[in-house]
Amino acid sequence: MEQSAQPIGVFDSGVGGLTVVRAVMERLPNEAVLYFGDTARVPYGVKSAATIRRYAREIVEFLVGEGVKLLIVACNSMAAVAGEEIRRAAGEVPVLDVLETGAQAAVATPGVRTVAVIGTSATVESGAYVHRIAQLAPEVRVVARACPLFVPLVEEGWVDHPVTEWVAREYLTPLVAEGIDVLVLGCTHYPLLKSVLTQVVGEGVTLVDSAVAVAEAAARLLAAEGLERQISTAPTHRFVVTDQPPRFHALAERFLARSLPKVEWVKMGD
Ligand code: DGL
């Protein structure tokens, strides 16, 4: 198969990366997507960097073996601690990640002075966002906070549950007190919580969701590399997971706002 006809590989630890898939499908409707969610091993964000690196390498080897033409790391935790491993395992396949596009979108927000980054413990403890934003815009103040309970709440489908709002208030009230003007959703699960997060931080704070920005970067890259799919028939998407929790299919359809083909299952690791 022509390289341009191959799918875009998008991967995450679970369902969170589907927020990126949705943006990619909207921006690049003629492209095929191969989504990989490591549902058997989610959450990643509470695991050590060494473990996240090993998992990331295994996923990239799988997707490269499936012939993807571009890889999108739709997981900030992997982007934060495993960027080098991912690019090494990707070989010739170009790689985009949500952390870089998230940092760029944050500093590009008009009038930005103080940015808060929320993410998993792995992402926040790595300091990757704070470091990258400081490189891009040294005058911007950055505060960060890990919100480890958000991922299980999203995986449970409790995206607008009162418990989620209560947890969000616990996490975010101290950030609001810092006078933030931008809140970076530094975990691909968090865009699902947008309405609760807006209620808590207020309409005056701009929420940065890197899914749209990474989809835009993918469109630019494919055009620049001559890798846009030329076929006019509708693309076939694939969804691969390492475990099929009962709610995956329904949750995924809700995230993508479309019906999903059969989800494939693969075994990974030991
Ligand atoms: N969605 C992932 C991220 O962007 C991680 C979620 C997790 O597995 O903890 O960080």
The predicted-structure confidence for 173-191, as pLDDT tens digits, reads as follows 999 999 999 999 999 989 9
In a domain, 223, yes or no: yes
Question: Could you say which of 164, 190, 210 is where a domain stops?
Answer: 210
Q: How far is the CA of 232 from the centre of ligand 1 (A)?
A: 34
187 is a catalytic site residue: yes
In a domain, 23, yes or no: yes
Residues 146 and 218 in one domain: no
Q: Is the pLDDT of residue 125 over 90?
A: yes
Query: So what's the pLDDT on residue 244?
Result: 79
> Mean of the pLDDT values across residues 89-117?
96
Q: Which residues span the domain enclosing 188?
A: 100-210
Residues 179 and 91 in one domain: no
Of 120-129, 148-157, 181-190, which gets the smallest average pLDDT?
Answer: 148-157
- Neighbouring-strand partners of residue 56: none
The enclosing H or E element of 240 equals strand 238-241
Q: Work out which ligand 1 atom sits closest to the CA atom of 45.
A: 9
Residues 89 and 223 in one domain: yes
pTM: 0.93
248 and 39 in contact (C-beta within 8 Å)?
yes
What mean pLDDT value characterizes the chain?
A: 94
Query: DSSP label at 237?
Result: P
Residues 202 and 105 in one domain: yes
Residues 89 and 105 in one domain: no
Domain of residue 216, CATH code: 3.40.50.1860
Alpha-carbon span 9 to 269, nearest angstrom: 19
Residues 121 and 91 in one domain: no
pLDDT digit string, tens, across residues 47-102? 999 999 999 999 999 999 999 999 999 999 999 999 999 999 999 999 999 999 99
Residues 19 and 91 in one domain: yes
User: Does the Cβ of 184 fall within 6 Å of ligand 1?
Assistant: no
> Mean of the pLDDT values across residues 207-214?
92
Where does the pLDDT of residue 260 fall: very low under 50, low under 70, confident under 90, or very high at 90 and above?
A: confident
Percent of the chain with pLDDT over 90: 83
Question: Could you say which of 210, 239, 254 is where a domain stops?
Answer: 210
Residues 204 and 246 in one domain: no
Residues 122 and 159 in one domain: yes
Residues 248 and 148 in one domain: no
Alpha-carbon span 73 to 260, nearest angstrom: 21
Residues 89 and 135 in one domain: no
Where does the pLDDT of residue 1 fall: very low under 50, low under 70, confident under 90, or very high at 90 and above?
A: confident
Q: Which residue has the tokens 């095929």?
A: 32
> Mean of the pLDDT values across residues 4-22?
94
In a domain, 63, yes or no: yes
Distances (CA, A) of 124 to 121, 253, 262: 5, 29, 35
In a domain, 131, yes or no: yes
In a domain, 158, yes or no: yes
Q: How many domains does the chain have?
A: 2
Q: How far is the CA of 11 from the centre of ligand 1 (A)?
A: 10
Alpha-carbon span 138 to 126, nearest angstrom: 19
Q: Work out which ligand 1 atom sits closest to the CA atom of 14.
A: 8
User: Does the Cβ of 13 fall within 6 Å of ligand 1?
Assistant: yes
Alpha-carbon span 191 to 188, nearest angstrom: 6
Select from 186, 165, 164, 46 the least CA-distant residue to 115.
186
Where does the pLDDT of residue 111 fall: very low under 50, low under 70, confident under 90, or very high at 90 and above?
A: very high
Does the bond joining 43 to the residue before it have cis omega, within 30 degrees of 0? yes
In a domain, 217, yes or no: yes
Residue 249, classed as helix, strand or coil, is helix
Q: Is the pLDDT of residue 247 over 80?
A: no
Strand order in the sheet with 182-186: 141-146, 114-119, 182-186, 206-208
Q: Mutation test of ligand 1: which of 18, 151, 192 has the most ligand atoms closer than 8 Å to its C-beta? A: 151
Q: Which residue has the tokens 């690791």?
A: 269
Catalytic residue among 56, 75, 106, 144, which? 75
In a domain, 270, yes or no: no
Catalytic residue among 25, 81, 168, 187, which? 187
For the chain, how many residues are written? Answer: 270
Q: Is the pLDDT of residue 266 over 80?
A: yes
